[in-house]
Chain A
């Protein structure tokens, strides 16, 4: 094997050289209006029509001559065909070609826009010739990819990371896409905060927007309104605190009590995964709104005038607490179970009673987990968009203010950018605190060795209130979810309480005709779009996530910590911020994808990437590193090792990453609401639209359907993964018997 790879040119290199030429000579260079997959462009003047022509034909006709220099880096790699990898020329030429090509592509892309030169100094320098171009299309994209991987192969040939082409290419690829789709939009947004109305940059504009009273005002102490920043912060702290306490109660009940319905409580952990974020808000309206059932009941008995108390801080607080308690529960159950029972048993043998053991050993050991749950609740509350939108009333929070700054009558991109910066600052601080302060401070002891001990029960004085709180909250949650289903089959809530399937029919009716099924329901369009987009995004998300996880757990390279921080960062970036920054960044060339389905897919990939990364890291760190090493010493290269050893062993993690990214894509609203278009409407934004028209019945019916679809997806995952694990368990059983 060694001889062949050394003498002949590597097939991967040949592939990328050909890909570069294909992108340049065959595929349309610019964005094609009807989408590349319609293939309308093939019959519409290709390859000579200016809009659909490949770069080579454009140059041939004397158009877009600034693309001509790309021929040099395209031709350069041809020189080294047949040269051995160890030849110093090999690495040098590849690096040169890759860097030149990639650099030139980017430079020209940013310099020349729809209206000619983007920068004034260029106009001054070159005059104002009649040149312009649209966003890059598949030709340009494949060309850029080819240059990137030529560059990484050059770097690998120079001996970086043991000359491993796969690893260097993977690192290069991940860095590039994260830069393009996370850092670039965020940077663009930050710049937008300094732009005045006539397009100049000014600090004072930023300052006036930043020190706005609507942002930092403290009027609420004097009876007026407080600024959105304070509102968000206050709400997030409160939600973080309450969800942590409730989550701890649940975790304690499940692990340290004799409560009979523990298993049922565990089911709570599934809820946040399958619930679209605003659904809880809707259910609360059905219960406590002006015509809500509880409101009416109370009004009749006590003769109190119904009020709109729900709309504002109390409603948002209740909704978010309901929505995020299961997340805290999920985090804390791991922590509470992770405290080694033998520590607690040791404390008991040292003459501490149960209460003293809990207070002096168990609780302190859980402290980092508690802080972690708090920060998660804080970040989630800050980023939440659906509930404040539905229930916020006059209570302004950052995420909704951003939305109204862009979508409302004020249309102020600068203000949206400033608000987004403030929001980003809060969430990133929490994210940073979580990583820097808690990252290494975990006392949970999950060693490979079996810990035979059992957790002691809670002391009685603690058990009763904890159990009470947990059961009460669980019942409340159940009632709220019950209301969702009930609300979907009521004619008109609070006015006409007769039962009907009308809403389902409106949304999901089908007609069987001769030509086949006709999807006549109002919701089908957005439903199929959602399924398609989520279905495209899920495998891509899982792939990017797993490759990143592989790099993080299995490879060491310079700048790995920064790399890790960068890839996990998108977890802390609220969806609204992503939405705003994508609009600002991708509305103009070189990457012009707003209004397409591509931007939705891309936003899902980078919103949900941390899910895939975490799933991958969790299961990869359980695979002994010697498995990789033995594969390498047996002559497999790192790509073959990844494909034949790591991936097969990661099957459960891959499935989980697939399903979760699919489900999360279906429930996402915050980023989506900025990015949808008439052609690509998503289920969640459609529902929000119904809510804004006070069409609650349809909205709730649609939400219920979504919940059941996602429940089915998660259930299928459980069955599939369960099978994989059972298969493994029998093997272990067999091992014990031999």
Chain B
């Protein structure tokens, strides 16, 4: 990366008991406490309608919190409108002004920030350079491809050197191939400049790939906060386990707990794994599709209900007394036949115990 004039004024964001109620009784965000560290990329992840976009818009100042406090840096911004917050945002639709050229779009915010015309211009040019759009200054947004428009939107937000940069589902209008590249670009810029970024998405894979920390939201509240690895390996409940990485949820019984290791039993098959403070009794086992072993000697009896070849691997649906599970296997050369009876077991690492749900 070349030397740029774009510096970071990254600041932490703090939510203290923030709620947002639309109309009289539609609770969009319910008493959220959240701390985003300066220079980190934090993702708000959840199904649609969980309040993640509302949370983002409250940071931007486009929605006003009904109660609670929002701090950016040391400053209480709860009552401050968007104009007066040092935050910028990349919109899902990019929201490029169609009547302005690319350069004018990027300069737009700078002209309100007290820079003279010359300074604004050189900053804007630097910004475009940073996102790899050198020489596109005089194009109109409608003359750019989707990916280029997206970069202009990023440049426009970046050049203001905001305390916090917000992304609202920035990849959802791009095709699958471009997504991976753009998301890597965003992550690279964020890390190079040390920006504080809050990022909204409903795509768990995207969240796992870009984040320092993920905030999983459900029904207007936070379900779990943690690093991608932690959320994947140690979800706190069935919702998080299922939402991140499509875990299979199987009912089991904890027979005994010894030294942090629990012995569980499913249909006569026994398996040992960390107890995570659970006590003997009924519980739920969460197993990722890749952690299911098929065709072991000992295991749970199951029948192959579906088998799908997707190129790099085989995908199976297994049915049994426990219900249905979804499993993948790398062995594509000798696929199992539909209807065949198999034994199913779990990998040594990976499965997680959850409270009975």
Chain A residue numbers with a CB within 8 Å of B64 are 162
Interface residues in A608-660 by Cβ distance below 8 A to B read 624, 626-627, 629-638, 640, 644-645, 648-649
Chain A residue numbers with a CB within 8 Å of B140 are 731, 734
Are the CB atoms of A630 and B89 closer together than 8 Å? yes
Q: Which of B89, B112, B143 contacts A731 (CB 8 A)?
A: B143
Q: Which of B81, B87, B91 contacts A164 (CB 8 A)?
A: B81
* Chain B residue with the shortest CB-CB distance to A164: B81
Chain B residue numbers with a CB within 8 Å of A34 are none
* With known contacts A1-B113, A624-B93, A731-B142, A633–B99 Cβ distance under 8 A: no
Are the CB atoms of A633 and B89 closer together than 8 Å? yes
Q: Is the interface of B mostly helix, strand, loop or mixed?
A: loop
* Chain B residue with the shortest CB-CB distance to A733: B142
Chain B residue numbers with a CB within 8 Å of A633 are 60-62, 82, 85, 87-89, 157, 166
* With known contacts A162-B64, A636-B108, A627–B143 Cβ distance under 8 A: no
Are the CB atoms of B142 and A630 closer together than 8 Å? no
Quick check: is A5 within 8 A (CB to CB) of the other chain?
yes
Are the CB atoms of B142 and A636 closer together than 8 Å? no
- Inter-chain CA distance A649–B95, complex, in Å, is 13
Are the CB atoms of B81 and A635 closer together than 8 Å? no
Quick check: is A43 within 8 A (CB to CB) of the other chain?
no
Closest Cβ of chain B to A91, distance in Å, is 13
Closest Cβ of chain B to A115, distance in Å, is 50
Chain B residue numbers with a CB within 8 Å of A163 are 79, 81
Closest Cβ of chain A to B270, distance in Å, is 55
Quick check: is B17 within 8 A (CB to CB) of the other chain?
no
- Inter-chain CA distance A644–B105, complex, in Å, is 11
* Chain A residue with the shortest CB-CB distance to B64: A162
- Inter-chain CA distance A378–B62, complex, in Å, is 43
Are the CB atoms of B99 and A629 closer together than 8 Å? no
Are the CB atoms of B142 and A629 closer together than 8 Å? no
- Inter-chain CA distance A648–B112, complex, in Å, is 18
Are the CB atoms of A636 and B95 closer together than 8 Å? no
Quick check: is A349 within 8 A (CB to CB) of the other chain?
no
Are the CB atoms of A634 and B81 closer together than 8 Å? no
Q: Which of A4, A159, A627, A637 contacts B97 (CB 8 A)?
A: A627
Chain B CB count within 10 A is highest, among A162, A163, A638, A731, for: A162
Write the B96-129 contact mask toward A (1 if CB under 8 angstroms, else 0): 0111000000001100111000000000000000
- Inter-chain CA distance A649–B166, complex, in Å, is 26
Number of interface residues of A (CB under 8 A): 31
Closest Cβ of chain A to B100, distance in Å, is 8
Chain A CB count within 10 A is highest, among B82, B92, B98, B153, for: B82
Q: Which of B91, B97, B109 contacts A635 (CB 8 A)?
A: B109
Are the CB atoms of B109 and A636 closer together than 8 Å? yes
Quick check: is B84 within 8 A (CB to CB) of the other chain?
yes
Write the B218-233 contact mask toward A (1 if CB under 8 angstroms, else 0): 0000000000000000
* Chain A residue with the shortest CB-CB distance to B92: A626
Closest Cβ of chain B to A561, distance in Å, is 14
Are the CB atoms of B83 and A636 closer together than 8 Å? yes
Q: Which of A1, A4, A632, A644 contacts B82 (CB 8 A)?
A: A632
* With known contacts A627-B97, A634-B160, A162–B81 Cβ distance under 8 A: yes
Chain A residue numbers with a CB within 8 Å of B82 are 162, 629, 632-633
Quick check: is A222 within 8 A (CB to CB) of the other chain?
no
Closest Cβ of chain A to B54, distance in Å, is 13
Quick check: is A410 within 8 A (CB to CB) of the other chain?
no
* Chain B residue with the shortest CB-CB distance to A648: B99
Closest Cβ of chain A to B137, distance in Å, is 16
Chain A CB count within 10 A is highest, among B61, B97, B160, for: B97
Closest Cβ of chain B to A624, distance in Å, is 6
Quick check: is B156 within 8 A (CB to CB) of the other chain?
yes
Interface residues in B72-88 by Cβ distance below 8 A to A read 79, 81-88
Quick check: is B21 within 8 A (CB to CB) of the other chain?
no
Quick check: is B178 within 8 A (CB to CB) of the other chain?
no
Quick check: is A735 within 8 A (CB to CB) of the other chain?
yes
Are the CB atoms of B112 and A635 closer together than 8 Å? yes
* Chain B residue with the shortest CB-CB distance to A629: B62
Closest Cβ of chain B to A547, distance in Å, is 19
Chain B residue numbers with a CB within 8 Å of A648 are 99
Closest Cβ of chain B to A94, distance in Å, is 18
Chain B residue numbers with a CB within 8 Å of A4 are 114
* With known contacts A631-B108, A632-B62, A633-B87, A649–B99 Cβ distance under 8 A: yes
Quick check: is A558 within 8 A (CB to CB) of the other chain?
no
Closest Cβ of chain A to B173, distance in Å, is 12
* Chain A residue with the shortest CB-CB distance to B153: A630
- Inter-chain CA distance A731–B100, complex, in Å, is 12
Quick check: is B144 within 8 A (CB to CB) of the other chain?
yes
* Chain B residue with the shortest CB-CB distance to A633: B89
Closest Cβ of chain B to A654, distance in Å, is 13
Q: Which of A626, A630, A632 contacts B81 (CB 8 A)?
A: A632
Interface residues in A683-738 by Cβ distance below 8 A to B read 731-732, 734-735, 738
Quick check: is B145 within 8 A (CB to CB) of the other chain?
yes
- Inter-chain CA distance A624–B99, complex, in Å, is 14
Quick check: is A447 within 8 A (CB to CB) of the other chain?
no
- Inter-chain CA distance A629–B91, complex, in Å, is 9
Chain B residue numbers with a CB within 8 Å of A645 are 97
Quick check: is A38 within 8 A (CB to CB) of the other chain?
no
Interface residues in B141-155 by Cβ distance below 8 A to A read 142-145, 153
Are the CB atoms of A734 and B143 closer together than 8 Å? yes
Quick check: is A394 within 8 A (CB to CB) of the other chain?
no
Are the CB atoms of B142 and A734 closer together than 8 Å? yes
Are the CB atoms of B143 and A634 closer together than 8 Å? no
Closest Cβ of chain B to A735, distance in Å, is 5
Chain A residue numbers with a CB within 8 Å of B60 are 629, 633
Quick check: is A2 within 8 A (CB to CB) of the other chain?
yes
Are the CB atoms of B112 and A634 closer together than 8 Å? yes
Closest Cβ of chain A to B9, distance in Å, is 13
* Chain A residue with the shortest CB-CB distance to B88: A633
Are the CB atoms of A636 and B99 closer together than 8 Å? no
Q: Which of B145, B156, B160 contacts A738 (CB 8 A)?
A: B145
- Inter-chain CA distance A734–B157, complex, in Å, is 26
Are the CB atoms of A738 and B143 closer together than 8 Å? yes
Closest Cβ of chain B to A153, distance in Å, is 15
Chain B residue numbers with a CB within 8 Å of A632 are 61-62, 81-83
* With known contacts A162-B64, A629-B62, A640-B112, A634–B88 Cβ distance under 8 A: yes
- Inter-chain CA distance A732–B144, complex, in Å, is 10
Q: Which of A627, A637, A731, A734 contacts B95 (CB 8 A)?
A: A627
Write the A138-167 contact mask toward B (1 if CB under 8 angstroms, else 0): 000000000000000000000100111000
| The 7 nearest A-B residue pairs measured at CB | A634-B109, A162-B81, A626-B95, A630-B95, A632-B82, A635-B112, A731-B142
Residues of A within 8 A of B (CB): 1-2, 4-5, 159, 162-164, 624, 626-627, 629-638, 640, 644-645, 648-649, 731-732, 734-735, 738
**Please, could you name 15 A-B residue pairs with CB atoms under 8 Å apart, sorted by A?**
A1-B113, A2-B86, A162-B82, A626-B92, A627-B95, A630-B95, A630-B153, A633-B89, A634-B88, A635-B113, A636-B109, A636-B112, A649-B98, A734-B140, A738-B143
15 further contact pairs, Cβ within 8 A, besides A162-B64, A630-B91: A1-B114, A2-B84, A162-B82, A163-B79, A163-B81, A632-B62, A633-B61, A633-B82, A633-B88, A633-B166, A644-B108, A648-B99, A734-B142, A734-B143, A738-B144
Residues of B within 8 A of A (CB): 60-62, 64, 79, 81-89, 91-93, 95, 97-99, 108-109, 112-114, 140, 142-145, 153, 156-157, 160, 166
